[in-house]
């Protein structure tokens, strides 16, 4: 007997969360993404929740609209075969995605990418490291 409420596939949920991550990084609304794809914002909501699976051609078009390779949506996806990843690069920690999904992470990312001068970017990174090191030293004291 089939249940009416089927739990979304973990890969579909992951892909949807990556769509949401990239869309919010760009400051794009669900409505705007939907318009670009010729679908409703409600359909975007279903994709982002993983309740509806995104077809291959639609995912390809999303990658174009969101300016990322299709592989972006599958980075760190669950379900690797026996933990074997072949020649794959080790994946980044989940906290990076969590940070970029937060309000502060999005604000920092958007502001940082607007800095054109690489020297200024380097100084910002150095500043953040110094502040983090000082906070860690205070915690130890």
Q: Tell me the CATH number at 33.
A: 1.10.260.40
| 73 and 109 belong to one structural domain | no
**Distances, alpha carbon 72 to alpha carbons 54, 76, 125, in Å:** 14, 9, 25
| 4 and 48 belong to one structural domain | yes
| 71 and 118 belong to one structural domain | no
- For tokens 């291959």, the residue is 56
pLDDT given for residue 96 in this prediction: 67
- pLDDT (tens digit per residue) in 88-98: 544 555 666 67
pLDDT given for residue 33 in this prediction: 96
pLDDT given for residue 95 in this prediction: 65
| 106 and 75 belong to one structural domain | no
Q: Which residue has the higher pLDDT, 64 or 5?
A: 64
In a domain, 42, yes or no: yes
Full domain range(s) for residue 138: 102-141
| 26 and 67 belong to one structural domain | yes
Q: Report the run of H or E that residue 33 belongs to, with start and end.
A: helix 30-37
pLDDT given for residue 45 in this prediction: 95
| 74 and 25 belong to one structural domain | yes
In a domain, 84, yes or no: no
| 63 and 13 belong to one structural domain | yes
Mean pLDDT on 26-41: 94
| 75 and 106 belong to one structural domain | no
Number of domains in the chain: 2
User: Distance between CA atoms of 6 and 107, rounded to whole angstroms?
Assistant: 36
In a domain, 88, yes or no: no
| 13 and 72 belong to one structural domain | yes
User: Distance between CA atoms of 131 and 125, rounded to whole angstroms?
Assistant: 10
pTM as predicted:
0.64
């Amino acid at each position: 007997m089939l249940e009416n409420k089927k739990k979304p596939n973990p890969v579909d949920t992951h892909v949807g969360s990556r769509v949401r991550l990239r869309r919010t990084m760009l400051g794009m609304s669900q409505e705007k993404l939907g318009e670009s794809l010729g679908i409703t914002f409600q359909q975007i909501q279903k994709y982002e929740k993983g309740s509806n699976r995104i077809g291959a051609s639609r995912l390809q078009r999303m990658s174009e609209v969101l300016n990322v390779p299709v592989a972006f949506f599958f980075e760190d996806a669950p379900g690797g075969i026996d933990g074997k990843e072949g020649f794959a690069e080790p994946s980044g920690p989940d906290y990076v995605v969590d940070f970029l999904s937060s309000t502060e992470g999005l604000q920092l990312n958007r502001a940082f990418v607007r800095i054109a001068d690489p020297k200024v970017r380097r100084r910002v990174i150095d500043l953040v490291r110094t502040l983090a090191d000082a906070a860690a030293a205070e915690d130890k004291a």
